[in-house]
Structure 1
Amino acid sequence: MPKPTAPWFHSLTESVYALGAAAREYRTADQAARTASWHIDPLRLLPVDGTVSVVDRDYIRPHDDAVWKIGDLYSELGSRTKKQYENAALAYAYGTTAALVSVLKGERPPHIELGRVAGLYVLPPIPLPDLSEELGNWRDSQGLSALRQQVVERECAGAVVNDLLSCGDLADYGSADMTHASEVAAGLADSAYAYGEQAESALHFALIASNPNHTPKEGQ
């Protein structure tokens, strides 16, 4: 007997949950990379005396050499995990929102649909939409709007930082302003993930409201 096909809303909620789970894994990896980097910080470690005479070269301090090289490895790992976490969190936010919008329009998307290039999700070129009007009957609609505003502000700050770094001329931009923009942009991944969680809850609400017989899966 053929296996029954799961209702479209089950596969959709599973798709959303899986994308959120991926973001959580990258978040854990990012935290672990930063912790590892902190433990090997040369400014925190006690110096270890002792040198080695390298044939046809000079002398090296092997402990210092190891600490700096490990620091470089952890720094590279941290950059990669940060990039992956931010991309997955934004994909969670944008993908869940796209699914939510479709459901609010009466459509039945079976999965989140996103582009993917070089291991990263391709994000829409437009900001997250404000759905406070469409979700007016949902008790957490204002919370979703507030989280959306945070994501938009952090994306804008990141765009400012990237533009300045790409042109290589910071003379016309105050260092304090640049620092502030960098600090705001640094919280983008966490804000996007928090928005994604709230949007996932909104999706469950929309599915139930559109058809009380729907029983979307809340968690795995």
Structure 2
Amino acid sequence: MYNLAPKNAPWFEHLTDSVRSLGEAAHEWKIAHTGAELAYTHAERGELHDGKVTGRPGPDAVVGPRRDGSRSPHVSASFALRRAAMNHMHHLGGEYRHTAMLFASGAAWAVRKVHLGERHDQVVFVVDDTDRRDLTPGSTVIPDQALDRYSGASQLRAAHDRLTDCLLAGEHAEDIADQAYVADHEASQMFDLGVIAEGLADAAYAYGLLAERALQYVLLGPKQAHRDRLAEERAAQEQAAADETPTAGDR
């Protein structure tokens, strides 16, 4: 378990933990999806042995005609394994995309709120209207003025451009697929767009990591203000204690 900020820590420490939890969630799904891709690749490897076995109804069978059936166990097992591996890979890929987008949009949300002078101890999302009440990724935009003089601003913008390209490619590919008729050149274009859209999860995760770093930049001001306030309070307490201490002439 990670060492979280104590309950009485300032708000920005809890906000940092909130964004980091989103990153760790996306990282877990990323690892799982990579493993599923490897499992699917492994399931596709190797030659199939076409040796046969016979399936024969038992003496008490009452359903269907009583005739023998020839099967290839290795072929059947391989196709079933590939299908299961592919379904598992697609499922984990969807989870990875969702959590990566939550990370990207959550980190961007935190940067925007801090830039506006707001104090939040947790990232806030809208939930969808399904029974699961899943979190819905929000905007990934960070205004340029929020990162004025930040050395990583250009890298962050480039990562956001990459993320935007993946999002737009996916939307365009879906629009083509929804058409009643898809011409050959549109089908080719849809394939190319789909290849770009496949990079969405990795692009969102990469952007989330950079936005998380940017959050620490915009938190420099609030952190310094917090330290200054603590120093003032400490000085006031020390002065009050000194005022209450009797001098030699008062004794």
TM-score range, shorter chain: 0.7 to 0.9
Q: Secondary structure at the match of 1:211?
A: helix
Q: How many residues in Structure 1 have an aligned counterpart in Structure 2?
A: 209
Gap change, CA 1:172 and 1:63, over 3 Å in 2: closer
Divergent runs of 4+, >6 A: none
Contact 2:147 2:153 in 1 (8 A): yes
- Unpaired stretches in structure 2, ≥5 consecutive residues: 1-5, 57-66, 228-251
Gap change, CA 1:109 and 1:73, over 3 Å in 2: same
| 1:17 match | 20
Comparing both chains, which one has the higher relative contact order based on Cα–Cα distances under 8 Å and sequence gaps of 6 or more?
Answer: 1
RMSD: 2.0
Q: Secondary structure at the match of 2:135?
A: strand
| 1:207 match | 219
Partner deviation per Cα, 1:153-173 (whole Å, 9 max, x = no partner): 110000011222233532275
Q: Distance in 1 between matches of 2:182 and 2:147?
A: 42
Q: 1:90 aligns with which of 91, 95, 101?
A: 101
**Is 1:159 paired with 2:160?**
no
Instruction: State the TM-score, normalized to the length of structure 2.
Output: 0.77
| 1:218 match | none
Q: 2:85 aligns with which of 54, 57, 74?
A: 74
Shift of the alpha carbon at 1:33? 0.4
Gap change, CA 1:197 and 1:168, over 3 Å in 2: farther
Shift of the alpha carbon at 1:174? 2.8
Instruction: State the TM-score, normalized to the length of structure 1.
Output: 0.87
Question: Counterpart amino acid of 1:131?
Answer: P
Q: Which residues of 2 match residues 37-186 of structure 1 at below 5 A?
A: 37-41=40-44, 44-55=45-56, 56-117=67-128, 118=132, 120-124=134-138, 127-167=139-179, 169-171=181-183, 173-186=185-198
Question: Counterpart amino acid of 1:63?
Answer: H
Question: Counterpart amino acid of 2:23?
Answer: G
Q: Secondary structure at the match of 1:147?
A: helix
Shift of the alpha carbon at 1:101? 0.3
Shift of the alpha carbon at 1:46? 1.8
Q: Distance in 1 between matches of 2:9 and 2:33?
A: 35
Q: Distance in 1 between matches of 2:72 and 2:226?
A: 66
Q: Distance in 1 between matches of 2:27 and 2:8?
A: 29
Q: Which has the larger radius of gyration?
A: 2
Partner deviation per Cα, 1:74-126 (whole Å, 9 max, x = no partner): 111111100000110011000111111000000011101123443743123xx
- How much identity, in percent, do the aligned residues show? 28
Question: Counterpart amino acid of 1:73?
Answer: A
Partner deviation per Cα, 1:123-161 (whole Å, 9 max, x = no partner): 23xx53242232121110111111111111110000011
Q: Distance in 1 between matches of 2:40 and 2:226?
A: 47
Contact 1:130 1:148 in 2 (8 A): no
Q: Which protein has the bigger helix share?
A: 2
Gap change, CA 1:133 and 1:57, over 3 Å in 2: farther
Q: Distance in 2 between matches of 1:33 and 1:4?
A: 38
Q: Secondary structure at the match of 2:9?
A: coil
Contact 1:30 1:78 in 2 (8 A): yes
Q: Distance in 2 between matches of 1:106 and 1:7?
A: 15
| 1:191 match | 203
